[in-house]
């Protein structure tokens, strides 16, 4: 039996534990939880954990009393760092949700805390370890493009309204969508280019689509515009979507460009230590078939490009007659990345293998996101702090 203790037993981490980790190893048991919302957390416990899981008031007490083999941190973004710093004191394998920090102060404290620890960490970066990304990386490493000179990475998010409907709308907690979303993409871009991002110039559009002056706390069921609004469950039903009643995406409580609000879309021009450069764009108001997430990496010899939604990879030889297209089968969480992370975490717990998504990778990605955020806010090129 693997005894896991969880700080913040919310939707994401309960789903990772109940549906992915447990699929790989049925012997995993949630034996300790730190979460102020005991009722909500209990409702997410699997049947096999419901009787034995004990709620504690701090991570320290849980570690002292629950005889843990593993720890997981699944709180909202602003609490990842404080809990991870606590966890660093123990050498218990840790699964840490992203972004690992939301400010420079948090990120540098986290880096310091993990300098002297033996606590192994699996950061929840499913894209880096997803089979399609690893396939692309292997082709690039084998010389498919020659020296990688450029990367274009796109993220057209068809479920982007969640960043205005759910807790993610709380800017204090997320600090915007570079940290929330691009943390995955900057990480896998560095992985593919085999080089860290060292400089960023970014732009963002705020308050052009979402946010607005509808009353705070308004939900569709109480809104007089619900018969015509394109975001209401009534309207979405016509498109075949089952959308629940939700907070208004045009509400004043989404924030404002002055007080802080998630961006409708944002883009970054990134420079790598290798001398390569690239572009990244994320768009949050697109729907349906406008979805796209993936990258095109090129060098003089060729191009490797892939898209996770299409589940497809293309290798183009610039100076030969024949090109190749590879199509994947199957459909798993985060394009197979969640399963890979679960395997990695179990390997780390059992001493069979190492993490492919280390705390240093998590922190390096946060440094790139913070540079992008600062650049978008100031209009200046910003150097990216490097771990170590
Ligand atoms: N890796 C990924 O691909 C991925 C996907 C989705 C979400 N996430 C991340 O997962 C995190 C959680 O998202 P979610 O949708 O599960 O949120 P959630 O609100 O469902 O879960 C957060 C949990 O933390 C608990 N909590 C609040 N205050 C706490 C405290 N002081 N101590 C301990 N627990 C506390 C809440 O009660 C809740 O149960 C976010 O940071 C998000 O960015 C990552």
For ligand 1, the distance from its centroid to the CA atom of residue 322, given in whole angstroms, is 47
* Number of domains composing the chain: 3
Using CA positions, which residue lies closest to atom 25 of ligand 1? 8
- What value does the mean pLDDT of the chain take? 96
> Is 190 within the bounds of a domain?
yes
- 170 and 306 share one domain: yes
Residue 277 has pLDDT above 80, yes or no: yes
- Could you report the per-residue pLDDT of 330-356, keeping only the tens digit for each? 766 668 899 999 999 999 999 999 999
What is the CA(319)–ligand 1 centre distance, in A?
49
In a domain, 349, yes or no: no
Instruction: Quote the pLDDT of residue 332.
Output: 63
> Percent of the chain having pLDDT more than 90?
96
Whole-model pTM: value is: 0.97
Tell which of 125, 156, 173 closes a domain: 125
In a domain, 344, yes or no: no
Residue with CA at minimum distance from ligand 1 atom 37: 37
The CATH number of residue 298's host domain is: 3.30.360.10
Residue range 163-178: average pLDDT?
96
What share of the chain in percent tops pLDDT 70? 99
The answer to whether residue 351 is domain-embedded is no
The pocket around ligand 1, CB under 6 angstroms, is made up of 7-12, 34-37, 40-41, 74-77, 79, 97-98, 124, 126, 167, 180, 334
Instruction: Say yes or no: 375 and 301 in one domain.
Output: yes
The answer on 166 and 46 residing in a single domain is no
Tell me the CA–centroid distance for residue 74 and ligand 1, in Å.
Answer: 5
Domain range holding 131? 127-209+259-331+358-383
Section 13-25 average pLDDT: 96
pLDDT for 350 equals 96
Residue 184 clears pLDDT 90, i.e. is over it:
yes
| pLDDT for the residue 331 | 66
Residue 273 to residues 35, 143, 364, 379, Cα–Cα distance (Å): 41, 19, 13, 22
Taking only the tens place, the pLDDT of each residue in 54-112 is 999 999 999 999 999 999 999 999 999 999 999 999 999 999 999 999 999 999 999 99
Residue 328 confidence (pLDDT): 83
The rounded distance, in Å, linking the Cα atoms of 339 and 15 is 12
Q: Are residues 44 and 176 in the same domain?
A: no
Domain holding 73: CATH number?
3.40.50.720
Quote the pLDDT of residue 333: 60
24 and 151 inside one domain: no
Q: Taking residues 113-124, what's their average pLDDT?
A: 95
One domain, residues 91 and 170? no
Q: Which ligand 1 atom sits nearest the alpha carbon of residue 167?
A: 19
Do 103 and 227 sit in the same domain of this protein?
Answer: no
Are residue 25 and residue 72 in the same domain, yes or no?
yes
297 lies in some domain = yes
Strand extents, DSSP E, the chain: 2-7, 28-34, 54-55, 70-73, 94-96, 121-123, 150-156, 197-206, 263-272, 277-283, 292-298, 302-307, 312-317, 324-327, 382-383
Does residue 338 sit in helix, strand or coil? Answer: helix
The predicted-structure confidence for 201-214, as pLDDT tens digits, reads as follows: 999 999 999 999 99
CA-based nearest residue to 306, from 130, 179, 43, 159: 130
Question: Is 346 within a domain?
Answer: no
The residue out of 76, 102, 125 marking a domain boundary is 125
**What band does 119 get if pLDDT is binned at 50, 70 and 90?**
very high
Mutate to test the pocket of ligand 1, among 6, 9, 10, 187 (most ligand atoms within 8 A of CB): 10
Could you tell me if 226 and 232 are in contact, meaning their C-beta atoms sit under 8 angstroms apart? yes
Retrieve residue 130's tokens: 């997803």
Cα–Cα distance measured from residue 139 to residue 143, given in angstroms and rounded to the nearest whole number: 7
Query: Cα(168) to centroid of ligand 1, in Å?
Result: 10
Mean per-residue pLDDT, 231-244? 93
| Tens digits of residue pLDDT in 367-381 | 999 999 999 999 999
Going by alpha carbons, the residue nearest to atom 18 of ligand 1 is 10
> Do residues 116 and 143 share a domain?
no
Give pLDDT, residue 335.
Answer: 85
Q: 9 and 76 share a domain?
A: yes
311 with 281, same domain? Answer: yes
Question: Which pLDDT does position 251 carry in this prediction?
Answer: 96
In a domain, 339, yes or no: no
In the chain, how many H helices and how many E strands? 16, 15
The atom of ligand 1 lying closest to the CA of 41 is 39
pLDDT in the model for residue 329: 78
Domain boundary among 125, 147, 178: 125
Residue 272 has pLDDT above 90, yes or no: yes
pLDDT for res 157: 98
Asked if pLDDT for residue 222 goes beyond 80, the answer is yes
Do residue 164 and residue 187 come from a single domain?
yes
Average pLDDT over residues 25-54: 97
The Å distance, Cα 296 to ligand 1 centre, comes to 32
- The answer to whether position 342 is within a domain reads no
């Amino acid at each position: 039996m693997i005894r896991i203790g969880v700080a913040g037993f919310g939707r994401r981490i309960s789903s990772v534990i109940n549906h992915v980790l447990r699929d790989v190893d049925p012997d995993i048991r949630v034996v300790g939880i730190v979460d102020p919302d005991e009722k909500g957390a209990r409702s997410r416990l699997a049947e096999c954990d419901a009787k034995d899981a004990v709620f504690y008031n701090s991570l320290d007490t849980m570690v002292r009393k629950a005889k843990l083999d593993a720890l997981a941190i699944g709180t909202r973004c602003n609490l990842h760092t404080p809990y991870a710093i606590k966890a660093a004191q123990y050498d218990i394998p840790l699964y840490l949700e992203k972004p690992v920090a939301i400010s420079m102060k948090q990120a540098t404290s986290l880096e310091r805390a993990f300098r002297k620890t033996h606590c192994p960490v699996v950061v929840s970066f499913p894209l880096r370890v997803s089979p399609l990304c690893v396939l692309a990386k292997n082709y690039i490493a084998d010389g498919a493009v020659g020296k990688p000179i450029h990367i274009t990475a796109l993220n057209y998010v068809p479920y982007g309204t969640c960043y205005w409907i759910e807790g993610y709308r709380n800017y204090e907690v997320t600090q915007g969508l570079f940290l929330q979303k691009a943390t995955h993409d900057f990480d896998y871009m560095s992985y593919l280019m085999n080089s860290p991002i060292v400089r960023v110039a970014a732009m963002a559009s705020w308050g052009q689509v979402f946010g607005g002056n509808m009353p705070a706390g308004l939900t569709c069921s109480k809104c007089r515009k619900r018969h015509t609004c394109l975001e209401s469950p009534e309207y979405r039903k016509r498109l075949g979507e089952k959308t629940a009643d939700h907070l208004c995406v045009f509400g004043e409580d989404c924030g404002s460009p002055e007080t802080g609000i998630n961006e409708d879309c944002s883009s970054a021009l990134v420079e790598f230590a290798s001398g390569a450069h690239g572009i990244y764009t994320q768009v949050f108001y697109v729907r349906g078939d406008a979805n796209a997430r993936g990258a095109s990496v090129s060098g003089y010899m060729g191009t490797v490009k892939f898209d996770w939604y299409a589940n497809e990879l293309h290798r183009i030889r610039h100076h030969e007659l024949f090109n190749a297209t590879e199509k994947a089968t199957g459909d798993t969480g985060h394009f197979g990345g969640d399963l890979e992370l679960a395997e990695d975490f179990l390997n780390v717990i059992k001493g069979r293998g190492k993490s492919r998504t280390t705390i240093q990778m998590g922190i390096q990605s946060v440094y790139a996101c913070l540079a992008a955020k600062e650049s978008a806010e100031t209009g200046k090129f910003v150097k990216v702090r490097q771990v170590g």
